[in-house]
Amino acid sequence: MEEQENKAQQDPKEQYDQPPFPEQKQEVPGTEADMQPKADHGEESYKGSGKLTGRKAIITGGDSGIGRAVAIAFAREGADVLISYLSEDKDAKETAKYIEEAGRKAVLVAGDISEEEHCKTIVQRAVEEFGQIDILVNNAAFQMSRESLQQIPSEEWDHTFRTNIYAMFYLCKAAEPHMKPGSTIVNTTSVNAYQPTPTLLAYAATKGAIQNFTANLAQLLAEKGIRVNCVAPGPIWTPLIPSTMPEEQVKEFGKNVPMGRPGQPAELAPVYVLLASQDSSYISGATVPVTGGKPTI
């Protein structure tokens, strides 16, 4: 009994690996297999309780990182899941395996969400496969660390905005006609919306835009009974980190938050479940910070 209690209650500072981490560098967008240490997506720990039984979800960037953790949790809560991803077939197939092991349907759609036509394709595929859309999780994002304004290519600035905020607009617009009262949209913003990191100028700007977009869209869709919220992660250990940040920053990633370590994707998933489920029926237009103690006020 004491052992079970110890597993249930842990010191959050010591629950996962702390920096320094091994030196590592990946090509964009990165893969789960090459991460050191491996990330936790709740593969062994998340247990569902039927909060999303019968619901149909779209998750962008669902192949890895936060998206994979959310996909696993949604499936174990009873939802069928469409995973939208760029090109990481191996990661996407592994996520699909977890969804199917939970007894739910997994649909994989590869492609670039910065293109509006592809966003329409994602929504249409979900309608064809599921017959409805109950949950849209806009999670996929692009970032690149740059030391100065002059180092940011104009094309990269444009690509960051098209991937992080344009795609959100495209997907919400395409999905709305297929969403009934009680449906939910959950967007991923960032602690950078509150405390922007200078070396992530474009990324941080999009995350501020996402928070504003969420607050506005929640008001616009309230009459239709569709709730819209967002989650603001702090430093989370995902393939985006070793593929877009300098090795010296990766080595010390997460050290500067009060808990002294990066968060794991598994620590985000329960918040997405809450916002997607009926448990949050009076929450809309909100941002839920998951930042390891880094303030958002």
Q: What pLDDT, on a 0 to 100 scale, did the predictor assign at position 61?
A: 97
In the predicted structure, residue 192 carries a pLDDT above the cut 90: yes
pLDDT in tens, 38-89: 999 999 999 999 999 999 999 999 999 999 999 999 999 999 999 999 999 9
Q: What pLDDT, on a 0 to 100 scale, did the predictor assign at position 4?
A: 41
What gap in Å lies between CA 259 and CA 267, rounded to an integer?
Answer: 13
Percent of the chain whose pLDDT exceeds 90: 91
Q: How confident is the model at residue 117 (pLDDT cuts 50, 70, 90)?
A: very high
- DSSP at 178: G
From the list 16, 166, 170, 203, the catalytic residue is 203
Please spell the DSSP secondary structure of 107-145, one letter per residue.
EEEES-TTSHHHHHHHHHHHHHHHS---EEEE-------
In the predicted structure, residue 240 carries a pLDDT above the cut 90: no
Q: What pLDDT, on a 0 to 100 scale, did the predictor assign at position 6?
A: 47
Confirm if 217 and 172 have CB atoms less than 8 A apart.
Answer: yes
In the predicted structure, residue 296 carries a pLDDT above the cut 80: yes
Neighbour tally for 108: CB within 10 Å: 18
272 given a catalytic annotation: no
- DSSP at 283: -
In the predicted structure, residue 229 carries a pLDDT above the cut 50: yes
Radius of gyration of the chain (CA): 18
Q: How confident is the model at residue 164 (pLDDT cuts 50, 70, 90)?
A: very high
In the predicted structure, residue 190 carries a pLDDT above the cut 70: yes
49-290 CATH fold:
Rossmann fold (3.40.50)
- Of 22-31, 101-110, 197-206, 255-264, the poorest mean pLDDT is in 22-31
Q: How confident is the model at residue 155 (pLDDT cuts 50, 70, 90)?
A: very high
Q: What pLDDT, on a 0 to 100 scale, did the predictor assign at position 292?
A: 97
Q: How confident is the model at residue 7 (pLDDT cuts 50, 70, 90)?
A: low
Q: What number is the average pLDDT over the span 87-97? A: 96
Domain ranges of the chain: 49-290
Q: At what angle do helices 269-276 and 65-76 cross, to 10 degrees?
A: 50
In the predicted structure, residue 3 carries a pLDDT above the cut 70: no
| Nearest partner of 179 among 115, 222, 219, 117, judged by Cα | 222
- Of 127-141, 159-173, 244-258, 267-281, the poorest mean pLDDT is in 244-258
Confirm if 83 and 57 have CB atoms less than 8 A apart.
Answer: no
Q: What number is the average pLDDT over the span 26-47? A: 92
Name the helix (H) or strand (E) containing 74. Answer: helix 65-76
